[in-house]
């Protein structure tokens, strides 16, 4: 009797698995808005950032109109297909629009904001919607592919230093024109976590605050951020103007100071794009010239943060050298002995280059720059 019962259960499970597979396959049919398409809601925070493996995605939209649009507020209908595995494919209808100030005007394929919503869910403003960004390969060339992969790596590096950082997920994304069969582009990209979701994940809220000063920021936090920006040779950030910096207000009553979260690293010397320009207001000669823009803290703070960077040296080296999608020569260049990324994570070498610049901080401090 028990054998027959087991057989019945297995038969039911196999039948159910077949039904699920057929249902998922059905969702790939048709165009956005089809009434006979099964609506599946994807929670971007829970499902898209839960793995470090590259995610294959297909995006079907009116590609010609999207790329020709000059209206940054115009939303386009699109259908995303997520290939989590060979047996796990999900489809989501979304709204999308180009984003980014410089890259929207310069890139042939700008970054994109995706707006997810549950069926029949009404939102009063986009801030409360489930949104994520896709950072796309700016131009269609091997050079720009390398830029995209290196910027992704910078986000992954900062994840090693702080939970107060943006999650990212590498994509292999196929853009298909749903108005012209056969027109498609396959590119690398990466998903960038929603800022409000990042804040919520860290029990904090995102704020816009004027008049930041040394008294209302965490000294260890701003020093860590500034040294990281120094490590990747990025001067394209200012805390006072909140340029390429998000500011979090921790909800913990025991923490009454602000936390900084850096983003947007395409102007860094590590990425070293052809369009990145040195900062003339701080006498930077090239984007690969490291200039420290953080505050001048006491020895206790610096010793602690320098030691923290030293402890991450091997992890950074492993992250870079094991990232097979980047050319080996490029990986080796950043991690060879000498004035480079990986050795700069070592506290002793790092400090030798930072300390001579501390005398100039009243001129160059990011907290003072407007």
Q: What total of structural domains would you count in the chain?
A: 2
What's the confidence (pLDDT) of residue 17? Answer: 38
Residue 27 in domain: yes
Residue 5 in domain: no
Same domain, 222 and 140: no
Residue 273 in domain: yes
Q: 160 CB contacts (<8 Å, ≥6 apart)?
A: 312, 315, 316, 319
Question: For residues 59-92, b (16+ Cβ closer than 10 Å) or e, as one string?
Answer: bbbbbeebeeeeeeeeebbbbbbbeeeeeebbbb
Same domain, 306 and 210: yes
Helices and strands counted in the chain (H then E): 13, 10
Same domain, 185 and 279: no
Same domain, 208 and 340: yes
In the sheet with 259-262, reading across from the earlier edge strand, the strands are 204-207, 245-250, 259-262
What's the confidence (pLDDT) of residue 122? Answer: 55
Residue 292 in domain: yes
Q: With the CA atoms of 330, 98, 93 and 57 taken in that order, what torsion angle do they form, in degrees rounded to the nearest 10?
A: -10
What's the confidence (pLDDT) of residue 41? Answer: 56
What's the confidence (pLDDT) of residue 105? Answer: 82
Strand locations in 126-181, DSSP E? 130-136, 168-177
What's the confidence (pLDDT) of residue 246? Answer: 94
Same domain, 192 and 253: no
What single DSSP character describes residue 127?
G
Q: Residue 261 corresponds to which tokens in the numbers above?
A: 């979260």
Question: For residues 8-32, b (16+ Cβ closer than 10 Å) or e, as one string?
Answer: eeeeeeeeeeeeeeeebeebeeeeb
Same domain, 218 and 164: no
Domain boundary among 141, 163, 196: 196
What's the confidence (pLDDT) of residue 290? Answer: 87
Is residue 197 within 8 A of residue 45, CB to CB? The reply is yes
Residue 32 in domain: yes
Residue 323 in domain: yes
What's the confidence (pLDDT) of residue 239? Answer: 84
Same domain, 41 and 147: yes
Same domain, 214 and 187: no
Task: Identify the burial level of 115 via C-beta atoms within 10 angstroms of its C-beta, where 0-12 means exposed, 13-18 middle and 19 or more buried.
Answer: middle
- pLDDT means per 10 residues, the chain with 370 residues, are 41 36 35 41 70 94 90 92 88 90 86 78 52 93 96 96 96 93 90 94 86 76 91 90 90 81 95 93 89 84 86 89 91 68 53 52 37
What's the confidence (pLDDT) of residue 360? Answer: 43
Instruction: Single out the residue of 203, 136, 193, 139 nearest to residue 169, CA to CA.
Output: 193
Residue 256 in domain: yes
Query: Is 0.85 topped by the overall pTM?
Result: no
Same domain, 259 and 305: yes
Same domain, 273 and 168: no
Helices (H), 258-339: 299-311, 313-321, 328-335
Residue 6 in domain: no
3-state class percentages of the chain: helix first, strand second, coil last, to nearest 5: 40, 20, 40
Q: 3-class DSSP state for residue 161? A: helix
What's the confidence (pLDDT) of residue 344? Answer: 53
Same domain, 17 and 127: yes
Domain interval for residue 69 = 11-196
Same domain, 40 and 155: yes
What's the confidence (pLDDT) of residue 356? Answer: 54
């Amino acid at each position: 009797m028990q054998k027959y019962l087991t057989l019945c259960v297995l038969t039911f499970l196999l039948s159910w698995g077949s039904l699920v597979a057929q249902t998922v396959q059905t969702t790939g049919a048709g165009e956005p808005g089809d009434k006979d398409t099964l609506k599946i809601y994807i929670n971007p925070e829970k499902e898209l950032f839960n793995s470090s493996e590259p995610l294959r995605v297909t995006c079907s939209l009116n590609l010609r109109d999207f790329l020709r649009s000059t209206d940054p507020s115009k939303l386009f209908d699109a259908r995303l297909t997520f290939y989590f595995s060979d047996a796990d494919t999900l489809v989501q209808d979304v709204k999308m629009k180009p984003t980014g100030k410089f890259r929207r005007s310069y890139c042939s394929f700008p970054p994109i904001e995706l707006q997810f919503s549950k069926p029949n869910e009404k939102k009063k403003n986009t801030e409360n919607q489930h949104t994520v960004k896709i950072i796309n390969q700016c131009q269609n060339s091997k050079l720009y592919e390398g830029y995209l992969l290196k910027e992704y790596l910078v986000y992954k590096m900062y994840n090693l230093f702080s939970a107060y950082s943006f999650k990212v997920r590498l994509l292999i994304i196929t853009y298909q024109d749903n108005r012209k069969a056969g027109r498609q582009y396959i590119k690398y990209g990466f998903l960038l976590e929603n800022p409000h979701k990042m804040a919520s994940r860290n029990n904090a809220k995102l704020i816009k605050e004027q008049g930041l000063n040394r008294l209302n920021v965490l000294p260890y936090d701003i020093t860590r951020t500034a040294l990281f920006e120094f490590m990747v040779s990025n001067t394209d950030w200012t805390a006072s103007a909140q340029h390429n910096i998000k500011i979090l207000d921790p909800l913990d009553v025991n923490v009454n100071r602000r936390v900084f979260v850096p983003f947007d690293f395409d102007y860094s010397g590590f990425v070293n794009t052809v369009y990145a320009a040195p900062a003339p207001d701080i006498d930077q000669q090239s984007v690969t010239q490291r200039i420290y823009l953080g505050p001048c803290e006491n020895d206790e703070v610096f010793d602690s943060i320098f030691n923290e960077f030293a402890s991450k040296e091997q992890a950074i080296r492993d992250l870079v050298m094991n990232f097979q999608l980047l050319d080996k020569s490029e990986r080796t260049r950043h991690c060879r002995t000498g004035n480079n990324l990986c050795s700069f994570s070592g506290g002793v070498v790092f400090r030798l280059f930072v300390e001579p610049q501390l005398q100039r901080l009243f001129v160059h401090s990011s907290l003072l720059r407007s």
